[in-house]
Amino acid sequence: MSAGTTKLDVTVADVVPVNELVTRFHFRPTNGGHLPTFSGGAHVVVEMREHEGATPRLNPYSLMSSPLNTAEYTISVRRDDVGRGGSLFMHRQVKPGDRMVISYPVNLFSLDLRAKKHLMIAGGIGITPFMAQTAQLASSSGNFELHYACRTASLFTYGDVLAERYGKRIHLYHDDRGEKIELARLLASQPLGTHLYICGPAPMIDWVRNTAAASGWPSETVHYEHFSAPKPGLPFDVTLAVSDKKIRVGEQQSLLEAIEAAGVDPPYLCRGGVCGQCETNVISSDGKFLHNDHWLSEEEHRSGKKIMPCVSRFEGRSLVLER
């Protein structure tokens, strides 16, 4: 097993249209039992395959179900007619009973449990991580307040559900009615020890972060969700000069995994770009290195003479390694 490859086999238990753009998917473990526990704000990476054997497309989605319920996970997917097509696949192809593969939960947007109060700002489909976080906080009598803006009432995904669950703690703003979050006032009126969480379109995240910074909020109290795309990238070809082999690194594979798959046994330890074991000399290259390690110096990255195959990739015409 290498880092980044722990997967869960799930079966689609239900597909529920929420409104004209958003559909909810329920996943249960294919082999029965429970899914791993997660914390509010976590996401999973969903693998979408057009057909068996096809290279999967990978999209991250926030888990929106309660962390207290590990019998199933739910995600909500907003149809994006111009995006890479992952959401279209989910909307058009995924049916109850389908088997799918998802990653273990990963949390890059976790609650700071020291906070005296959690102030949440959501825009559009950015509501999903807050669904899980509010459930988690409500179960442990945490203090939270959610401000949620959406274009129209008909697109107010889970606005009604949240209002019903949490009453006055939920504030809804309809863009088409000219309602606007009075951010400066809201931020100025928070008790000491409040943490701020933002999830929504990029301009909204910028607006809230800038306003918070201008009103003197320390940056460690401001949290925002930004998906770091899963590490895999485009396939590329490599020549292993010492072992005299030509290999192709798949979209989902690391260069190290591809070298191993070709029967070559390079040294490694961490498989995470920090230990230095897998350092490999580049004999020649024509293209761009995508260095993702923390081992080589910036100078070495620029030199194009070395690569750490456990995490780094390449885009271009040719790459020849001393391996």
Site residues (CB under 6 A) for ligand FES?
Answer: 268-271, 273-278, 293, 295, 308, 310
Q: 6 contacts which partner out of ligand FES, another protein, none, CB within 5 to 8 A by kind?
A: another protein
Instruction: List the single partner that 3 binds among ligand FES, another protein, none, CB under 5 to 8 Å by kind.
Output: another protein
Residue 103 φ/ψ, nearest 5 degrees:
-80, 165
269 binds another protein (CB under 8 A): yes
Cβ 39 to another protein shortest distance, Å = 5
- Measure the CA–CA gap between 239 and 319, rounded to whole angstroms: 6
- 276 touches another protein (CB under 8 A): yes
Task: Name 26's bridge partners.
Answer: 14, 74
* Nearest distance, CB of residue 20 and another protein, angstroms: 34
Binding partner of residue 136 among another protein, ligand FES, none, CB cut-off 5 to 8 Å per kind: another protein
Least gap, CB of 104 to another protein (angstroms):
4
Binding of residue 2 to another protein (CB under 8 A): yes
Binds another protein (CB under 8 A): choice among 30, 37, 154, 281: 37
How many CB atoms lie under 10 A from the CB of residue 82? 6
275/290 with CB nearer ligand FES: 275
Q: Is-contact 197 109, C-beta < 8 A?
A: yes
Residues 161-200 that bind another protein (CB under 8 A): none
Residue type, 45: V
Q: Which does 310 bind (CB under 5 to 8 A by kind): ligand FES, another protein, none?
A: ligand FES
Tell me: does residue 312 bind another protein (CB under 8 A). no
Closer CB to ligand FES, residue 109 or residue 295?
Answer: 295
Q: Give first-to-last CA distance, the chain, whole Å.
A: 22
CB atoms within 10 A of CB 21: 20
Kindly state whether residue 25 participates in binding another protein, applying the rule CB under 8 A.
no
Task: Report if residue 295 touches another protein, rule: CB under 8 A.
Answer: yes
Of 129 and 273, CB closest to ligand FES = 273
Q: How near is the Cβ of 14 to another protein at its closest, in Å? A: 21
Could you say which of ligand FES, another protein, none residue 278 binds, taking C-beta under 5 to 8 angstroms by partner kind?
ligand FES
Q: In the 8-state DSSP scheme, what is residue 215? A: T
CB closer to ligand FES, 271 vs 306: 271
C-alpha angle 78/81/83, rounded to 5°? 85
Surface-to-core class of residue 293, CB atoms within 10 Å of its CB (0-12 exposed, 13-18 middle, 19+ buried): buried
SS3 per residue for 114-178: CCCEEEEEEEHHHHHHHHHHHHHHHHCCCCEEEEEEECCHHHCCCHHHHHHHHHHHEEEEEHHHC
Burial of 171-202, coded b for 16+ CB within 10 Å and e otherwise, reads bbbbeeeeeebebeebbeebeeebbbbbbbee
Which positions lie near another protein, rule CB under 8 A?
1-4, 6, 36-39, 41-42, 67, 104-107, 110-114, 136, 140, 220, 269-276, 294-295
